[in-house]
Amino acid sequence: MAAGGLSRSERKAAERVRRLREEQQRERLRQVSRILRKAAAERSAEEGRLLAESADLVTELQGRSRRREGLKRRQEEVCDDPEELRRKVRELAGAVRNAKYLVVYTGAGISTAASIPDYRGPNGVWTLLQKGRQVSSAADLSEAEPTLTHMSIARLHEQKLVQHVVSQNCDGLHLRSGLPRSAISELHGNMYIEVCTACAPNREYVRVFDVTERTALHRHQTGRACHKCGAPLRDTIVHFGERGTLGQPLNWEAATQAASRADTILCLGSSLKVLKKYPRLWCMTKPPSRRPKLYIVNLQWTPKDDWAVLKLHGKCDDVMQLLMDELGLEIPTYSRWQDPIFSLATPLRAGEEGSHSRKSLCRSREELQAEDQGAPLSSAPVLGGWFGRGCAKGTKRKRVT
């Protein structure tokens, strides 16, 4: 026996006693939990006595139940009634008119009308994964077009009512709505942009197709090479668990400058569960009285609701239609044949045509027909691209040999 210590047999005995007590505590917890699920009138005298003797466990279990119910309520989608929504939009319109520097933060909720699923809605990527269901990547997100909300934001910027847009979305729809590059910070990248990081400054290549079909979490090379130096090109996507390091299209410098100048922030279609982690976007170093006024449009709870001057529970397109009507502004119509991306895009070089199998955006119906009639595609498998990639990081997968 070690000096001043217990013998091996004594340590084993103490460990058995500890485990026995833990098992007894777990069994008591299970008993109390079963009793609490019964209506009070259905409990026996013995069960009532057990609850009285286990007040600490009752308090703990009731607290757990309240937290579970609270989480469920936070996931529910809530819609304001039409009259209430119109009243709130009138208040929002006044804030937009009076703002000296308005910044818009956008999330996946503004693209659901373009048939791109969000992340935390009832059928969102994270929601489905938490339920143990499979998430299939969208076949080709270039089929999506800018929504009414995207086009409204572009018009508000054109009218100098919105100064900057900070987006979590990778779908490129802000760019395709006509919003200038200088007015957008795409914090998580853009599916149409690949870059050469060997060139200084980084050389960008805007494409008319999704560049991410062969990329994934921690694997960013697209399979094409820089036209200038020949180095491999990489996508610009920032997956869950990654830190964005590219200057563009993330444009963090402009995002933080805009946030510091903003007197009003409008959040559209974002759960804010990711954006809340970026303190530079919320001016938390300023005293509360000098922070921007916050307006939120989202169907679900967000962690910034208590900070908001106004929370509008409605679909983004519905709210933006009402807002543009209230402001007396016409919403531009998107034309697929005049998509702004065509003037920004770098064409593939000879020999690169087979480097992707994604459908390309087309300038005309004639191009679209030619594309549909079977231009040669790569034989490489389509891997799904950025959508949903990285969401299930850490899950075990069978190694392919």
196 is known to lie in a ligand binding site: yes
The DSSP symbol for 359 reads P
What contacts 244, CB < 8 A, 6 or more positions away?
Answer: 187, 188, 189, 238, 250, 252
| 150 assigned to active site | no
- Whether 79 has a binding-site annotation, put simply, is no
In sequence order, the 6+-apart residues with CB closer than 8 A to the CB of 362 are 336, 337, 368, 371
State residue 379 phi and psi, 5-degree precision.
-85, -5
Q: Is 267 annotated as a binding residue?
A: no
**Torsional sign, CA 390, 392, 396, 400:** negative
What is the rounded distance in angstroms from the CA atom of residue 172 to the CA atom of residue 188? 11
For the four alpha carbons of 391, 393, 394 and 395, in that order, the dihedral sign comes to positive
275 contact partners, CB below 8 Å, separation of at least 6 = 105, 107, 168, 267, 281
Q: Distance (Å, rounded) from C-alpha 345 to C-alpha 135?
A: 31
- State both tokens at 25: 């505590």
Q: How many CA atoms lie within 13 A of 92 on its CB side?
A: 28
Question: By the 8 A CB rule, do 112 and 174 touch?
Answer: no
Q: Which of 150, 164, 174, 188 is catalytic?
A: 188
Residue ranges of the binding site for Zn(2+): 196, 199, 226, 229
- Residues labelled catalytic: 188
Residue ranges of the binding site: 196, 199, 226, 229
